[in-house]
Structure 1
Amino acid sequence: MPWIQLKINTQAENAEQIGDMLSANGAQAVTFTDAKDTPMYEPKPGEVMLWPDTQVVGLYDAEFNMKRVIAQLEKSKILGKGFYHKLDQLEDKDWEREWMDNFHPIQFGKRLWICPSWRDIPDPNAVNVMLDPGLAFGTGTHPTTSLCLQWLDSLSLDDRSVVDFGCGSGILGIAALKLGAASVVGIDIDPQALLASKDNANRNNVADKISVYLPKDQPDMQADVVLANILAGPLRELREVISDYCKPGGLLVLSGILATQAEEINQLYSADFEMEPIAIEGEWARVSGKKK
């Protein structure tokens, strides 16, 4: 179905209130975007950060009476009569199909390919991970996942045990299994991620080698390899938990880290690990090391 976007530029302190007004006036979804390309960094737990100049975008059915919406918004003290706004018609597309059409097989390192489950395999002799992300994060297209997959491809994983902390779609753990790992434990706070991981494990014929858990059910164990592609905040707060999953002499890889945060995370984990050089891809970083 066709849609209309109503875009309003405002100051950060007014953005959430304007977003609430759009929702109250029929918006199907409201998003906040940077109006002046101001960089944003990871918020503290529980903190909502918005740009100094924020664009509030409301999504409406194309048949919706937008003149009435504008008239209602003009009554507010924040916006007022004749406030500046822009209406954009969105092309009527099957957005899920659009995304699927643009997700292609990608190679990581020398051996590993991530292949959408609906596309043909480019190299049948490669290590191919067939992936359908579903509702969980992780396709390999983001630099944080790419950095971890390249690291995995560089290792000899034969018969090693793996913990995938924040498993998402299961992409990292399944890649480890396809590269020779003996077993994977996947942990995530999102039940949808656990379902996606199991579905993708079935798709890759490794379901018997992977177990998935919510944090409250996570097992007491240690593994040869620990993967954590999450965010810098949780990596700081959960350092002891993540470190304890790794055996002495085991390997650790961390990502979901901005390049500007990498040195801090590297120093934090150096208490328990002999750290490797930080790897950078664009604005993102990978930190890795060996347990002392």
Structure 2
Amino acid sequence: MSWTEIVIEVARNQAEALSDALMEAGALSVSVEDADEGTDAEQPLFGEPGMEPTESAWERSRVVALTDVDSDHAAIVSAAALACGLPAPAFELRPVGEQDWVRLTQSQFTPMQIGKNIWVVPSWHDTPDPGALILELDPGLAFGTGSHPTTRLCMEWLETHITENPAHPITSVLDYGCGSGILAMVAKKLGVPKVIGVDIDPQAIESASFNSIRNQCEIAYALPDEFAKNSAQFDIVVANILSGPLQEMSGMLCGRIAKGGSLILSGILATQAHEVIAAYAPFITLSVWRQQEDWVALSGKLN
């Protein structure tokens, strides 16, 4: 089966309304792209669960509507424009040939090596090194597949520090903002007996639980209200969220660190590091452990 895309360039304040109207007029799906993508005027939008951009549009937005190849495309555009009070815009049509979308999607995700001995492997790939720490993890709805620098930084820190002193093994880890559960699973596979993951998103808890079962990791997951009933402290607390929420949670997170335990934070741009360090200064001394691209990981030990 073949399809046709309707491509319309509009201003930022028209993109959302036109997208909705195109769906109502018969489009199968609609996406919004940066019309300046690939140029000096390109504007990246960043977001994570709970902190998504309020508007997924750009100063010059490209609205792309997928339709059946035999649709009346001019009628769809006219009806959509009328519905949102716009003059009928110019548009172009792009053919979309039949493809094996499953194979196309899977081809974009290959095994990734992180740190010295960690591999994140999609379920449709063979394990590249059976002796490595293997995480079978498919792209999904919850944030965290190891591709983002903040996730990689936390994974590398855990790999380095959990096994650094065999005479004093790490016995507990808290992954706050667990997303897919990837950091919790790294800790468990590195031999930590007690690992707990917490997230504000019930869908993330469901995804993390599924991933942990698949990877044969016994990990407890909870929503924040449920977790708050538990006063446990941990040898390591890791939180890969964003700068703003991390600053707001400084007292709570530090209260979860056992005496002599460590805190590792990421989701922080290098330009935000001083703000986060200052927010945690009353509780713990943090410093930049490592930087990847524009992102840093901060860490410190509670005396």
TM-score by length of 1: 0.85
Equivalent residue runs for 1:127-276 within 5 Å: 127-157=133-163, 158-207=169-218, 210-218=219-227, 219-276=230-287
Whole-Å Cα distance in 1 between the matches of residues 213 and 52 of structure 2?
36
Give runs of ≥4 in structure 1 deviating > 4 Å. 41-47
Distance between the aligned counterparts of 2:191 and 2:119, measured in 1? 14
Letter in 2 for 1:263: H
**Structure 1 residue 274, shift from structure 2 partner:** 1.8
Cα deviation, residue 134, structure 1: 4.1
Tell me which residue corresponds to 2:120. 114
Q: CA deviation at 1:2?
A: 4.1
Question: Are the equivalent residues in 2 in contact too, given 1:104–1:116 (CA < 8 A)?
Answer: yes
Q: 1:56 and 2:63 equivalent?
A: yes
- Alignment check: 8 A CA contact 1:8 1:56 kept: yes
Cα distance, 1:287 vs structure 2: 2.3
Deviates more, 1:250-259 or 1:93-102: 93-102
Deviates more, 1:176-185 or 1:98-107: 98-107
Shift in Å, 1:240? 2.6
Match of 2:98 among 81, 92, 98: 92
State how 1:66-85 maps to structure 2 within 5 Å: 66-75=73-82, 79-81=86-88, 83-85=89-91
TM-aligned CA deviation for residue 213 of structure 1: 0.7
* Offset, 1:47: 6.8
Q: Which runs of 5+ in 2 are unaligned?
A: 37-41, 164-168
Check 1:260–1:95 CA distance in 2 against 1; reply closer, same or farther (3 A cut). farther
Displacement of 1:78 in angstroms is 5.5
- Which stretches in structure 1 are left out of the alignment for 5+ residues? none
Amino acid at match of 2:59: P
Letter in 1 for 2:256: Y
Cα root mean square deviation, aligned = 2.8
Instruction: Report the CA distance shift for 1:56/1:240 in structure 2 as closer, same or farther (over 3 A).
Output: farther
Residue 71 of structure 1 aligns with an amino acid whose one-letter code is S
CA separation in 1, counterparts of 2:223 and 2:24?
35
Q: Deviations over 1:172-212 (max 9, x none)?
A: 100111112121111122223222222222222222xx101
Q: Is the 8 A contact 1:278 1:288 kept in 2?
A: yes
* Same amino acid, percent of matched pairs: 39
Is 1:38 aligned with 2:47? no
User: Matched residue pairs, number?
Assistant: 289
What is the TM-score with the length of structure 2 in the denominator? 0.83
